[in-house]
Structure formats: C-alpha cells, structure tokens
A and B are shown apart, each in its own frame.
Chain A
Amino acid sequence: MGAILKRELSSYFNSATAYVVMAVYFFFSGLFFYTYCFAYNSASLAGVYGNMFYIIMFIIPIITMKTFAEEKRQKTDQALLTAPTSLTEIVLGKFLGAFILYLICSCIYLVYAVIISFFTTPEWSVILCTFLGVVLLGASLIAINVFISVLTESMIIAAVFGMAVGLLISMMSYFASMISLSWISNALKAISFMEYYQNFTYGILSIVDVVFFLSVTALFLFFTVRALEKRRWS
C-alpha cells in the first residue's frame, strides 16, 4: 500500500493536477471567506463551508478521475494486479493518495480561522467540528468517485459522471422538499449528504453524521475492490 500511496502523491505533485486543484480550491474558499466573513463582518465560517460543498463536488472527480481509469487505459493495472499485493491495498493506496491531497486543500480553513482570530476569538470547537465535517464529506465523495473511476477506461467519462453524481447528491434535499409523499421524501433526506453535512457546519457533532459518512466511504471502497475483482472474472 505504501508504494502505491507514494506513487499517487508523486503523480499528483509532479504534474499540474495538485496545483490546479489547490489553486481552484483556495480561490473559491477565499472568495467565499471574503464575501461571508469580511463583507458581512461575521466570524462564522458556516457560509464558507456551506458553499464549498458545491466546489468540492466538482473538484473531487478531477482528483480521482485517473485513479483507475487511466491505469486501465495505459494497461499499467497489469503491473498492480500481477504484483504480490492485495486488491484492498491497491484501493486503499489510491484512496489515501486522493484523500491526502484533499486534506491539504482543506487545511486552508484553519488559515481562515487564524485570520479571524486576529479580529475576535473564534469558536474553536465549531471550527474544528466543521473541519471534521469537510474531511468526512471529502472522504465519502472520494470513495464514490474512485468507484466511478474503476468502472470506466476514460478519465473524461469518470469525471463527468462523477460530477453528475455529485450534483444529484447535492440536490437530494431539494428533491425531498418537492415530493409530498412523506416516506419518499424521508428516504431522500436520509441519503442527502447536505442534511448530514450541514449539522457539522452549525457546529453540531453528532455520531449519526459521522457514522453516515464513514459508512458511505467504507461501502464504496468495498464496491471498488469488488469491481476490480469482478474485472478479472469477466
């Protein structure tokens, strides 16, 4: 796993990918930070986090699109799959590589918190709680997008499909509000990422939300392993 993780990170940072992703992430979070905190004179980062949800939806497919799709196209997966390494190690290595890049992006919030601390005392508990929310949201989205990448040979398809899934996920609460049948509406709410994510941005740390994101992550990593396995059998 170590070897794959190391290679993933070096491939992100030896190409433009990592820098472009970081630039976009920092630009939009900075923009939101400016409009919500400076323009409104607020010490709450909730607005920044709430809006970053949509940016994250678009950025993560870009990070993960090549994880498996490119390997398959270039046939480098032959090296991975014929090496004495388990599929779980391969998937975890790929996942962690993307996750670490995402984590580096997310650290910008801590910088904003420090900036706020020059003007007023920030609520550190809320900030850390929200930070945890961002990290967990990212982990689950990365797992979903890594899974999408394993299904195709084309990076473009992986990215576009990932973004579409992301949009669908973000609109889940909206759909829920539109449907009058309560059981469907409740079911949609139960799988709406926004519902769980928002609690973090308000500073509410609930075990349900944490478990939700962790289980989505684990589930899709498991699916990825199975999809890799299935490819050998078909």
Chain B
Amino acid sequence: MVEVKNLTKCYGSIKAVDNISFTVENGEVLGFLGPNGAGKSTTMNMITGYISSTSGTVTIDGVDILEDPKEAKTKIGYLPEMPPLYVDMTVRKYLEFMFDLKKVKLPKKEHIEEVMRLVRITEQSERVIKNLSKGYRQRVGFAQALLGNPPVLILDEPTVGLDPKQIIEIRKLIKSLGQKHTVIFSSHVLSEISATCDRIIVISKGKIVADAKTDELSTAVAGEQRLSLVVEGNSADVLSSIKKIPAVVRVVKERDMANGSAKYIVRYENGKDIRKEVFNAIVRIGAAILDMQSSNETLEDVFLDLTTRDESLNDGGKN
C-alpha cells in the first residue's frame, strides 16, 4: 500500500507539486494522468525517494521513505522516465549488477532468467545495451524494476517511444503485474490509462484535479451526458426545439454537413434519457434525424476540460 499525504515540492518559488494526497491499495493499478510538466515525474521521484519533498510524507506499506529509506526502497521497483541503463554493459551483466545493488535475496541466476522471460528479452541477454532499440531498452528498464519482486511498482511513462505492438505488450504486462503488485503508472496518453488502470488520478499544475474509478471518471467529473446528432433541416429551428427539452443543458451546432444537414452536440443531465424527446421534437418541426449517437463524454474531453479549467479560472482571477 502506498500512502501519500500532503506532498509538496517547491523549486524556488515554483510549486511543482502542490499538496497532493492519495492512497493506493494493494493490488490496485493506479493511472497517473496529466499533461507534460504537470508534476507526474516529480511526484514519482518523491515516492521513490530519488528527491525529497518540501513537505508531506510518503509511506510504503507503513514505512516512511525519508525516515527509513533503505527499508522502504526494497519495497519499490522503479522505472523512471528515462530507464537508468548503463549502456556499456550487456543486458545480463546489467541485471546482475542491479540485482546486487538492490541486495535481492532470491536465487540470482534463476530470478534474472525469470524476469527476462517475463519481459521477453532472454534472446537479447548477451547484447550490449547501447546496441539495443528503444523498445528493448524499455524492457530492460522494466526488468530492472521487477528484480526482487517488489510489492510496489512505479512506472513513469513506460510506453513512450514504443511502437503500437510493443505498447500493447507492455499494457498487457502491466495488467498482469497488477494482479500481484501495487502499480502506479503515469502517462499523458488517455486511451492507455483507461485500458489498463482501475483508477485514475488526473494531475494538472501540481494539483490533483480528479480522482475516480476509470469507468466513473467521465460521468462523475463531467456531470452531464452527451448526444451527437446529424439533422437535416433549418438549424435555428433545430436548436430552439431541442433547447425546449427540460433535461438539456446545452446544445451546439458543431459543423455543417452535406445536403443541408448539420452535426449537433447536445449535453444533458446525468441519469436521464432524452432520445425519444429529441426524436419527437425534430419530427414536430418537419426535420429529419439522419444519425443519433448517445455517448459519455470521452476521456479526452474530460481530460482537456479538467486540465484547462484551471487556466481559465486563473486568468479570471488576474483580470
């Protein structure tokens, strides 16, 4: 279990991470989502004890990372954004070094073989790391984090720079690891997080702006649902007739389409179903619905909404 309490990191007057608190239960896969420069890596570096926090605490299974770093660090496997590889070593030599460095007490040869098999680099084991491609290097970094079977895995953007096939493999790997380990992994790619994580924390400008189960995030945060429509008919009439429906929060014309039709986005309150009412309203004004899709807001929308909302608030404050 990882417990983060009121974690803050200041660089001079800049607050890179601002009073973050969250808890990750055993066996949970937590996605850490945010745009570049939001403070994801800084937070992870503090959790792993690479840098210290300005204030706040991190405890791993009840052990404070600053008070008893040796004990806490044995519980963590860390894959930083740039895998810490000694490029002049062969994969096997490097893993042997990391094994010794981490003071792992498992049978050395078997354990390294097992980890290499897990991330599928056995065939590359005698190659010098500097000759490996980015994807293989990432796997070596992964292998390094897995040495010693630490209960907590912290992965900082593990899929950056990989090709789609490798990304899928790594995702699968993270999912399978999540059954035995507590995993925190960061990314700025939404689809990836939603495909792998049980829970998502969205971080923006050093603050947590959302913390929810993956499937709940979109509705929970947005508080409204979405309907996209393609209607053939007079735009003004369409807009005004849809606005009359009580549950509708907002309706906008997104763009004109061929043959006098146009695409509209209708946002309405959570838990209601307005499809019949929309259908009737459109029929009443003599227009025709060509397409209707009910959808939750996509995570992309939510993400953009959450991470830019702040900005508009700040701007408002300044003015």
Contact = CB atoms under 8 A, between A and B. Distances in A.
A80 B73 CA distance: 11
A86 B50 contact: no
A34 B101 CA distance: 45
B52 interface: yes
Given A78-B80, A79-B84, A232 B50 contact: yes
B87 A74 contact: yes
Interface string B81-117: 0101111110001000110111100000000000000
Nearest to B82: A75
B53 to A, nearest CB: 10
Nearest to A93: B101
Contacts of B101: 3-4, 79-80, 83, 85
B76 interface: yes
Contacts of B45: 78
Nearest to B65: A82
Interface in B28-58: 45, 48-52
B85 A76 contact: yes
Interface stretch (A6-14, A107-115, A148-156, A176-184): A6-14
Contact of B76 (A79, A82, A233): A82
A15 interface: yes
Interface in B142-170: 144
B102 A233 contact: no
B265 to A, nearest CB: 44
Nearest to A83: B101
Contacts of B180: none
Interface of A: 2-4, 6-7, 10-11, 14-15, 74-86, 232-233
Interface of B: 45, 48-52, 69-71, 73-74, 76, 78, 80, 82, 84-89, 93, 97-98, 100-103, 144
A78 B85 contact: no
A3 B84 contact: no
Contacts of B84: 74-80
A76 B82 CA distance: 9
B318 to A, nearest CB: 30
Contact of B48 (A80, A82, A233): A82
A83 B85 CA distance: 14
B72 to A, nearest CB: 8
A83 B73 contact: yes
Contact of B70 (A3, A79, A80, A86): A86
B50 A82 contact: yes
Contact of B97 (A7, A14, A75): A7
A138 B80 CA distance: 36
A86 B85 CA distance: 20
A15 B88 contact: yes
Nearest to B84: A79
Nearest to B75: A84
Contacts of A14: 88-89
B70 A84 contact: yes
Nearest to B103: A84
Q: Which of A10, A83, A232 counts the most chain B CB atoms within 10 A? A: A83
A86 B51 CA distance: 14
Contacts of B98: 79, 83
B123 to A, nearest CB: 22
A212 to B, nearest CB: 34
Contacts of B97: 3, 6-7
Nearest to B94: A7
B51 A11 contact: no
Contacts of A2: 100
A6 B100 contact: yes
Contacts of B52: 232-233
